[in-house]
Amino acid sequence: MLHPVPGRIGSEGTRRAPTMSDLPPKRGGVARDRARAFGSLTYRDPREVLVELRRVERLIPPGTDPKIRHLRTHDLRDVRELRLASLFCYGWGQISVQPMLVAHAEAQDYDAVATWIDSDTANFAPIQIKEVVPTDLNPEATVQAVIDDLTKYRDSRDLTVAVHLNQSARFSPLALKIPKLDIASLWIFGSVTPDQSRWGVWGNFLETIQYGEFAYPEG
Report whether pLDDT(199) > 50.
Answer: yes
Model confidence over 176-196: pLDDT tens digits? 999 999 999 999 999 999 889
**Model pLDDT, residue 31:** 57
Q: Which residue has the higher pLDDT, 85 or 122?
A: 85
For residue 107, which of 38, 183, 9, 187 has the smallest C-alpha distance? Answer: 38
> For the residues of 19-83, what is the DSSP string, one character each?
-GGG--SEETTEEHHHHHHHHTSPPB-HHHHHHHHHHHHTTSPTT--HHHHTT-SGGGHHHHHHH
Question: How many other β-carbons are positioned within 10 Å of the β-carbon of residue 189?
Answer: 22
pLDDT digit string (tens) for 71-101? 667 677 888 999 999 999 999 888 888 889 9
Say whether pTM exceeds 0.85.
no
